Chain A
């Protein structure tokens, strides 16, 4: 320490003994700052911070609500889709069943018609055969009587006798045919 400074230091007061005016001004300066901040500015910002917090929380709540709604709508859609699929499957099934029933019905109808036609055919054939057989029987009888008349010279015009003779003759023919079989 230079001698000059040494003297100066001795003259100076102890730096740890504060002069009153500086204490007063220091306190005043701080109290001014504290007053402004505590009474006006910090309450201001606290209010806004609170508003912001609420806004953010409100936003989050809104987003959550939207998400819940979206979820429920999605589920609704899924349910509807499943229902529609189910319905479609049911309709398809029904159509298949109906188709099958229709086919079966038509087949049965066809069968029935076929059988009817066949039966009608058979009946017709039978009737024709009977008619032919009756006609044939008459013709043969007439031919035979004519022939027999010619042969025996006897008129066999008496109808009753005539038919009796024919029947007897035919029966004999049939017997013969059976025996030959």
Chain B
């Protein structure tokens, strides 16, 4: 439905500047793939993004399996690396936001979430894959919804029905006449906007990052004609710079995503004040 089925790369390869063809700029079509299997119109299909998502799971599990299957008290190199990552999420994110006693229960969820999201982001710069799974909205959305379900159900469990409603609406008698408005805004913000922004923040960052890398990659190729070759070099340099930058952004966005998840869960567990 989007691109030419025979096209493997993200853009037309036979088009250069001064050849009379326009710049094949990247766009939404860069994020859609024809199904590898099944029919795109029937909702029963399998595409590159799904493949990368499942492969990502295998990579994450494989890494931790190799590191933690038979862990040693005196760790090997791989175990040490994995422990460092685990400890970073556990101590640096979960304990920091929720405290050790309260947060311990959510460590597995947050650790899985962090490394899963990071891996999904990392696909962006892994050769041959070169596509961040999280730049397809469905993936950040499903993760954000999962976190949403967790913290909303926790709020009900912890505070009861009325307490949960008060928690969602930021109920505070001292506000007086403004209370209904504030409650409306708070409920809207907490229950509707929050999961959306949680997902969009990750999605938009990875989307934009991918667009930038693809844009400069296409430009490097497109400019490869006549005087354009000099500019192609600059453009390719930008590809390298953006790749390194993305490496940083991928980890940062995974961190932000789980940090927000922790904050939401912590808010659900916190006493009403």
Within 8 A of B (CB), among A110-168: none
- Residues on B with C-beta less than 8 A from A41 are 61, 64-65, 67-69
Is B138 positioned at the interface, with any CB of A under 8 Å from its CB?
yes
How many residues does chain B have at the interface if contact means C-beta atoms less than 8 Å apart? 54
Query: By the criterion CB–CB under 8 Å, are B1 and A11 in contact?
Result: yes
Q: How far is the CA of A81 from the CA of B56 in the complex (A)?
A: 72
Query: By the criterion CB–CB under 8 Å, are B68 and A21 in contact?
Result: no
- Residues on A with C-beta less than 8 A from B65 are 36, 41
Query: By the criterion CB–CB under 8 Å, are B138 and A26 in contact?
Result: yes
Query: By the criterion CB–CB under 8 Å, are A45 and B143 in contact?
Result: no
Is B122 positioned at the interface, with any CB of A under 8 Å from its CB?
no
B107-115, B233-241, B263-271 - interface stretch: B107-115
Query: By the criterion CB–CB under 8 Å, are A30 and B25 in contact?
Result: no
Q: How many A-B residue pairs have CB under 8 A?
A: 132
Nearest-Cβ distance from residue A102 to partner chain B, whole angstroms: 72
Q: How far is the CA of A41 from the CA of B138 in the complex (A)?
A: 27
- Interface residues of B, dominant DSSP: helix
Query: By the criterion CB–CB under 8 Å, are B60 and A33 in contact?
Result: yes
User: Of B27, B71, B136, which is within 8 A of A5 by CB?
Assistant: B27
Q: How far is the CA of A8 from the CA of B50 in the complex (A)?
A: 23
Q: How far is the CA of A36 from the CA of B111 in the complex (A)?
A: 12
Nearest-Cβ distance from residue B172 to partner chain A, whole angstroms: 33
User: Of B79, B109, B112, B136, which is within 8 A of A22 by CB?
Assistant: B136
Residue of A with least CB distance to B1: A11
Residue of A with least CB distance to B82: A45
Known: A16-B137, A25-B50, A32-B57. A42 touches B108 (CB 8 A): yes
A22-60 near B? 1/0 per residue, CB < 8 Å: 110111111011101110011011011101100100000
User: Of B56, B64, B115, B138, which is within 8 A of A18 by CB?
Assistant: B138
Nearest-Cβ distance from residue A154 to partner chain B, whole angstroms: 145
- Residues on A with C-beta less than 8 A from B53 are 25-26, 29
Q: How far is the CA of A15 from the CA of B71 in the complex (A)?
A: 43
- Interface residues of A, dominant DSSP: helix
Q: How far is the CA of A16 from the CA of B113 in the complex (A)?
A: 21
Nearest-Cβ distance from residue B194 to partner chain A, whole angstroms: 16
- Residues on A with C-beta less than 8 A from B112 are 30, 33-34, 37-38
9 A-B pairs with least C-beta separation:
A18-B138, A22-B138, A38-B108, A48-B71, A26-B142, A26-B139, A41-B68, A34-B112, A29-B53
Sampled A-B contacts (17; CB under 8 Å) = A9-B29, A11-B1, A11-B2, A17-B137, A18-B142, A22-B50, A26-B139, A29-B54, A30-B143, A33-B57, A34-B108, A37-B64, A41-B65, A44-B68, A44-B71, A48-B72, A55-B73
Q: What is B's interface to A at a CB cutoff of 8 Å?
A: 1-2, 22-23, 25, 27-29, 31-32, 43-46, 49-50, 53-54, 56-57, 60-61, 64-65, 67-73, 79, 82-83, 86, 107-109, 111-113, 115-116, 133, 136-139, 141-143, 146, 200, 207
